[in-house]
A = this chain, B = another copy of it.
Amino acid sequence: MDFNDTPEQAAFRASAADWLAANVPTKEETEGLNRLQVAKLWQKRKYDAGWACIGWDPAYGGRGASAIEQVIWKQEEAKYDVPAGFFVIGQGMMAPTLMAYAQPQHLERYLPKLASGEEIWCQLFSEPAGGSDLAALRTKAEKDGDEWVINGQKIWTSGAHYSDFGCVVVRTDPTVPKHKGLSYFFIDMKSPGIEIKPIKQLTGESDFNEVYFTDVRVPDSQRLGEVGQGWQVSLTTLMNERAAIGAGSSGVNVNLAIQLAKEVMIDGKPAIEDSAVKARLANFYVEEAGLKFTSYRTLSALSRGDIPGPENSIGKLVGAPKMQQLASFCMDLLETSGAIWDTSRSKLADNIIGSYMGAPGLRIAGGTDEIMTNIIAERVLGLPQEPRMDKGIPFMDVPTG
């Protein structure tokens, strides 16, 4: 065990840090730009200097960096407040899928622009009737000459409104069992017949969209994998989702709660001296630190060449409910004032109440607590699946309530 970099890693870290220090956009540069514009500017600058998607093949704009180098780069970049979320899905999930299934000419056409941030991709998987049962999707595609005609509805599509391309899974054969009748395409999000409607969340924000398909035409050449092989292709995407979403480091944390507990008084003493406050904070910290050190163990395994496995579901499974309860606890520390959601009155309100309001979404997006627990039970501990009522039955005959 050693927390220090090897000499090679230290050298890499230093060169990353140096470049960042010299190149992170200044306030003057970003003046007047919105978050998306800043993100594109920053991504392009990284790309031009060889710091975008550094794990990728140099042919597509990367530098073939090792897993641990990618982590070091992320750690160094995270020291700056630069926007990143816009490219996560495309670079983290779509790109590995393209690399596995797309034609060489597609890779040359799309990957560099994905790396440079010039084009943004989104993922069109979830449907209203699907939810945790992702493969129960109903959006259908019918062959018409060299093209497919797509009709149906997708939901929970992050970034659909600013994306240039998207990967979509559709049902091409409802007469075979659920997983066998799917196919996978990438499409131009500006195609005629695509309508995008933002979904307002209970936080008041709109991070997701509904995407309606009405006779949307996509060339057969944009199919990834064979017809009917869409589920296998999707699994490549989803395996990379786990790594891309992670525990989520924003929102309330124990450090913030401790600062708060030092300021708030209970019975004439700082709350941090109250033993009930300590017991709860300790339990939150045990989870927070446990996740951090679990991720260090994963990194060590990654740096040895291992692939992240289903055990990484633990990050979101523990982290999301922890955020909800820790935010609730922080509000409690403030008593009635803890319910004030007004930044002009409480600097912390946005962070604390924002976390309390946002956490239910974290507990659901990318796999609910219940699905994550299933994954650990089945794929880590090797416990049997529940009986499946939809197994071997033509999709169109599966009970839907």
Contact = CB atoms under 8 A, between A and B. Distances in A.
Nearest to A274: B275
Nearest to A278: B276
Which of A266, A276, A278, A387 gathers the greatest number of chain B CB atoms within 10 Å? A276
A389 B388 CA distance: 11
Contact of A279 (B279, B386, B387): B279
Contacts of A276: 275-276, 278-279
Contacts of A275: 266, 274-277
A266 B387 CA distance: 52
Nearest to A389: B387
Interface in A229-287: 266, 274-279
Nearest to A388: B387
A127 B278 CA distance: 48
A324 to B, nearest CB: 19
A389 B387 CA distance: 8
- Counting every copy of the chain, the complex holds 2
A201 B321 CA distance: 38
Contacts of A277: 275
A103 to B, nearest CB: 44
Interface residues of A, number: 10
Nearest to A282: B276
A279 B279 CA distance: 10
A389 B389 CA distance: 11
Nearest to A277: B275
Interface string A380-399: 00000011010000000000
A271 to B, nearest CB: 10
Contacts of A266: 275
Interface in A293-341: none
A277 B274 CA distance: 11
A386 B278 CA distance: 42
Nearest to A273: B275
A386 B279 CA distance: 38
A389 B385 CA distance: 13
A277 B278 CA distance: 12
Contact of A387 (B274, B278, B387): B387
Contacts of A386: 386-387
A279 B276 CA distance: 7
Contacts of A279: 276, 279
Contacts of A278: 276
A386 B386 CA distance: 9
Interface in A354-401: 386-387, 389
Contacts of A387: 386-387, 389
Contacts of A274: 275
A3 B106 CA distance: 80
A387 B386 CA distance: 9
A278 B386 CA distance: 42
A218 B266 CA distance: 72
A107 B93 CA distance: 74
Nearest to A266: B275
A62 to B, nearest CB: 48
A60 to B, nearest CB: 47
A279 to B, nearest CB: 4
Q: Which 5 A-B pairs have the closest CB atoms?
A: A275-B276, A276-B279, A387-B387, A276-B276, A275-B275
Given A275-B275, A275-B277, A386-B386, 10 more contacts: A266-B275, A274-B275, A275-B276, A276-B276, A276-B278, A276-B279, A279-B279, A386-B387, A387-B387, A387-B389
7 contacts: A266-B275, A274-B275, A275-B276, A276-B279, A386-B387, A387-B387, A387-B389
